[in-house]
Chains A and B, each alone.
Chain A
Amino acid sequence: MGLTDKIYKYIFMIIAFSSFVFLLGIITVLFTEGLPVFSFTSVINFIFGKSWYPTAVPPEFGIFPVILGSLIVTLGAMILAVPVGIGSALYIHEIAGEKQKMFLKPIVELLGAVPSIIYGFFGMVVVAPFVQNLFKIPTGQCAFTGALILGVMAIPVVCSIAEDALSVVPKSYREASYALGANRWQTLWKVIMPAAGSGISTSVILGISRVMGETMTVLLVTGGAAMIPGSIFDPVRPMTSTIAAEMGEAAVGGSHYHALFAIGLVLFLVTMVMNIVAEYIGRKYRIKLGLDV
């Protein structure tokens, strides 16, 4: 390797490390700006405290209702997204012909490419009033509507990864199943899906991660009450909308500012853990079937 090549290699290497630098930067910022909140409140009170009154005197920084808000809409969203997403993946994999596939795969991708503000806007002006009228509830801006819209947003994530997982199951599994006399459905349900199980669980985990990190949709659609909900039709305020709604007024360096960064830290840690787990399963699974990464 000549000298110029060596120089270029090192320049490129330094530039390639930028991704690592950015990730490190994000982690550092979250910790340095988030941790100071614990001089105002203990970790236990922060995570399990039930009152979020950041501007009261003295301020109260309990984010338990906020965390619960995130969890409830995420759970609701996955109840919709997992069956529909996996079902769609199974359909595309098994039933759709080449022509249908060429049409369906871009549609699913498109569902995932729509910006979240549009989903939130659509949720606010069309879905929320509809839900309010349908269920005769006090307000359509609640956890249910949030879960509904977020579920739709998660369908493409679950579907495309699950479909990927299904397509790497070796043909031999299917052929062996047919040879034993099983029909298409039995093969699909009892042989191929379990074989793709790890990949499918990866798709669910990444779907959860996507939904937890969603901001604009929940900001517009979930009602914004930082309380522990009594029913699925109560308004809630997930972590993301709390950060987005209150960041503007938090004076830099104040306790409220640090509290919001601390919520960001919690959010980041949760999604990062899920992403790492998903990646671990994903790689392990591929290795298990003897494929190159």
Chain B
Amino acid sequence: MKGKGRVISTLLVANRGEIARRVFRTCRDVGISPVAVFADPDAALPFVGEADAAVRLPGNTPAETYLRVDAIIDAARRMGADAVHPGYGFLSENADFARAVLAAGLTWVGPTPAAIDAMGSKVAAKKLMAEAGVPVLPEFDPDSVTADDLPILVKASAGGGGRGMRVVRELAQLKDQVALARQEAESAFGDGTVFCEPLLERARHIEVQILADQHGTVWALGERECSIQRRHQKIIEETPSPAVDAEIRGRLFAAALAAAKAIGYVGAGTVEFMLAANGELHFLEVNTRLQVEHPVTECVYGLDLVAWQLAIAEGARLPGAPPEPRGHAIEVRLYAEDPAQDWRPQSGTVVYFDIPGVNSEFTVPGEFGLRLDGGIVSGSEVSTFYDPMLAKVISWAPQRRSAARRLAAALHDTRLHGLTTNRDLLVNVLRHEDFLSGDTDTDFLTRHGVAGLAVGADETAVKASALAAALARASGRARTSRVQRGIPAGWRNLRSQPQRTAFEVGGERLDVEYEVRRDGLVTSLLPDVALVAGAPDAVTLDVDGTRRTFAVRVYDRLVEVDSALGAVSLTVIPRFADPTEQIAEGATVAPMPGTVVRLAVEAGQTVAAGAELLVLEAMKMQHRVVAANSGTLTELRVSVGQQVDAGAVLAVIEEA
């Protein structure tokens, strides 16, 4: 490794969002000056302002920005950086980038390019591991898969983070799924190579954190279980794993250390395994970088892994043995996505974000507590161009159950306004009896049903929240109206009908009728409800004899209501629809903002309900847009490559 022994003074972080902030945090702790690079959509994110210097990478897509080796090296040079930290994703496992960094005379915070290369191809990596005695799964060429091999998993050889990964259970789907996986892999990693593996069912994802110095010392810093996944992407990670006992841990560590030594690994890395229901371990891959879920290991081991990465790059030696682990840590990934709508990524503005009771950010809490590693703050924009992860929340407690309880409560009480997130799903998983008893595997969500797990506030809570929203708005209007300020809201000397507000909540229309009379609230919405106190930002209701306070925030048409009953997000349905803005019957609209990557139909042709019309790519995932009804496609308003906004009319089908 070049640059051995050289002290880093200025570090460029070739990444964005929370991981950039995470690395900056350590830079500040150790006295290194951090430099950021940023793409145009990220210009206003906190990480840009937190660096000592920030260099713009003009453009939007990863290929134009965070994947631009030349631009990043150039930025490092211009800023006088003497080292580059790649974070995770993007160029973090790109050996050519590592070589370019080293060739530019800079310190590369990571393993050698050779080690990255050895692990970069999953296909080659498995071969190497098998030779080193690490247990591996067989693999198939995508073109020679037979029915007997099914079910299989198609994976991107250069992949990570679940992208380019597809399950195939029927041979008929194979071609399409492989094609989609290749396209996604090409888009995400610039390499469309894919391979297939048997799909292990009811297995757990277990990985071992490795930390190795340049002097031959390798630590195995415990295992992490990351079985709770959606679309093969981890959303809950923890250490230690409830399924790993001393015997399994022994095998895990031995295999991980063998893997690390086989490639002369240096720095922080992760060796991933599948733990089958029968106790067998299968090597998956080595991630030659810092993992998203590294904070759980940091909490339990009381370490700063980024500080060690930097120190190792500077030539430092690890002590002979790692520290003793203490307690249990669980991390959740808070995503801007809608689990109930096939995990549809959300974009837009996070108008408000607050997690109560956070003890530390980007660092281990002084004692057991809550850690937040967030990429966004109130007011941040979430674009369609990158991963929609908003923040990681980590709970560290003496026991697993207490960690889960604290984390679930913190998430439940989190105020996150403006975007749909997976928060309710995370809370429900953390409070699920099977989760709490450690019965976790990679099919957890599918087995327990995403629809059920995604449910937040119940019907009464939604109605009470909607009522609170209407009353808070009424109170706000009475206080801020241009005229008659202070006159009671909705006052009438002759009452002919109630006030009415219509909301959209969870895709459904909810009509709220209410009258605040001299003798109290009258509403048809709930049978037993009374108004205790009403203000523009808080409404206290007595619901079925229980007093509850609802915090209400109004952002134009969006109304966010938070209470102990759960967060409810409502959108006001305007009283009047402008006829010129009405969407034609039979129109298919974009379900999310994105780019049209493929058209499956042509104008004038006949389509059947459910037929694929086109494919939209958003957040690096491809989404099929299908015909809602059968008929003639009279209009196709978009072309390949076109960027569309959510709600834009894509096509019009005239019913046959």
A and B found bound together: no
Chain A residues with CB under 8 Å of chain B are: none
Chain B residues with CB under 8 Å of chain A are: none
